[in-house]
Structure formats: C-alpha cells, structure tokens
Amino acid sequence: NAGVTQTPKFQVLKTGQSMTLQCAQDMNHNSMYWYRQDPGMGLRLIYYSASEGTTDKGEVPNGYNVSRLNKREFSLRLESAAPSQTSVYFCASSESGGFSGNTIYFGEGSWLTVV
Amino acid sequence: GENVEQHPSTLSVQEGDSAVIKCTYSDSASNYFPWYKQELGKRPQLIIDIRSNVGEKKDQRIAVTLNKTAKHFSLHITETQPEDSAVYFCAASPTKLIFGTGTRLQVFP
C-alpha cells in the first residue's frame, strides 16, 4: 500500500511555462485534494474533488486547474506558471464525505520553483 | 468562510515539560477539529482529532480540548521529548478543512 503518491517531487519552471502535477491514491478513497504550503501560511486548499466526477474550488484556486481522471487519480495543472506559485504542493485523499471527519492522508509533497 | 488562528507561532520547551498550542475558529458550524504534525521535509500526519460532540480527547501524552462556546480548541503535549519537535497544525471543518498557520515546537534536551 503506497498510500498517496505524487510526481514530480521537485520541479523548476520558467515563468509562463505549464506543467501538471500528478497524484494517485491506492486506498480506494472517494475524496481527493490539492493543497499548497507556503512559509507562515499553513496549508491552503487549492481544489478538491469530493467524489469521482466532481471538482470544486478551495481557498486559492486562481491560476490552477484540476482533473479527476478516475477514482484513483487527481491532477493539478498550472497553465502559465508565475513566481507566486513557487510553493510546496501536497495531494491528499480521504475515505468519503469531503470534510465530514474522515482522516485526510497526504502525499510526500512536490517542491515547485518558478523563476 | 471559516478562519482559523493558531498561537503561538513558535514554542520552545525543555524536555519533560508540557506544551500547549491554541487555536480559535470563526464558523460555529465547524464540527471536526484535527491536529497534524509535520516533521521537517515530510508530509503532515494526523496525530489526534476531536468532534464537536466531545469536549476532550486523550491519546497517551497528547490531548485535545474543545470549547464550542468560545470557539477555541487546544493541543496539550505532556512529558515532551526531542522527537516531538516539529510543526503542528490545527484545522477546523464546517464544509472545507481550513488549517491554522502552524506552530513550530522545539524540545531541547
């Protein structure tokens, strides 16, 4: 059981480039999330998918798009990267019910630098 | 929307002492309050959580208390050890899980 796996672990982008962060979970969870973590800001929700086929905006969705490809996979896309998107990105999943009290499990994180 | 404030931002204690981290939330509809621990360069991991129908929960050296009237909840770590050194995040959930800004705990031997 790998849990939540995300790739790549490290990436450097030039301003204006695009890229997709991939995430997969093998726990048969219904809900998946993308967070970003910046120093002094805690973890902020970018987008989430309460169940397969649905996606919703979180606290900081601007500049991002997501795709819930199937139950296992939830990708995050930066269409035109900006230096303000330099951050650590965490994918996460939970059993069901969005945020109704199910434990959220995080991936190992993706360190993204935009120059 | 929900707003979660966490204090202090840094906390240094001597090994064996207790540590207390406090959080306040704004949305009275919040009903789930987890605490996550994040070691340097690692992923956040759940250490304890509490639901709104409970006032206190304990798990060995850690405990969480919840005061719904005052809209605050706290993490208590007793008999701290160097391996407790990490960043701790509180969170509150009405419909979306909103995190506090974190507390860096350092336990000195």
pLDDT tens digits, A1-60: 679 999 999 999 999 999 999 999 999 999 999 999 998 788 999 999 988 999 999 999
Split at pLDDT 50, 70, 90, the class of A100 is low
pLDDT of residue A1: 65
Q: Is A10 exposed, middle or buried (0-12, 13-18, 19+ CB in 10 A)?
A: exposed
Q: Facing residues of A43 across strands?
A: A37
Strand partners, B77: B19, B62
Structural tokens at position A18: 């695009």
Confidence bin at B105 (pLDDT 50/70/90): very high
Residue B15 vs residues A100, B18, B19, B81, B109: alpha-carbon distances, Å:
36, 8, 10, 5, 5
**Among A44, A45, A101, whose Cβ lies nearest the Cβ of B32?**
A101
The reported pLDDT for the residue numbered A97 is 58
Residue type for position A100: S
Q: If contacts are CB pairs under 8 Å, which of residues 6-65 in chain A contact chain B?
A: 40-45, 48, 58-59
The four Cα atoms B2, B3, B8, B9 give a dihedral, to 10 degrees, of 110
Name which of A12-16, A100-104, A105-109, B101-105 the model is least confident about: A100-104
Contacts of A104 in chain B (CB under 8 A): 34, 46, 97
Rounded to a whole number of angstroms, the distance from the CA of B14 to the nearest CA of chain A is: 24
| Chain B residues within 8 angstroms (CB to CB) of chain A | 1, 6, 9, 31-32, 34, 42-46, 49, 51, 89, 91, 93-102
Q: Please state the separation of Cα B88 from the chain's center in Å.
A: 6
Q: Do B44 and A90 touch (CB under 8 A)?
A: yes
Local structure of B25: helix, strand or coil:
strand
Distance from CA of A33 to the nearest CA of B (A): 10
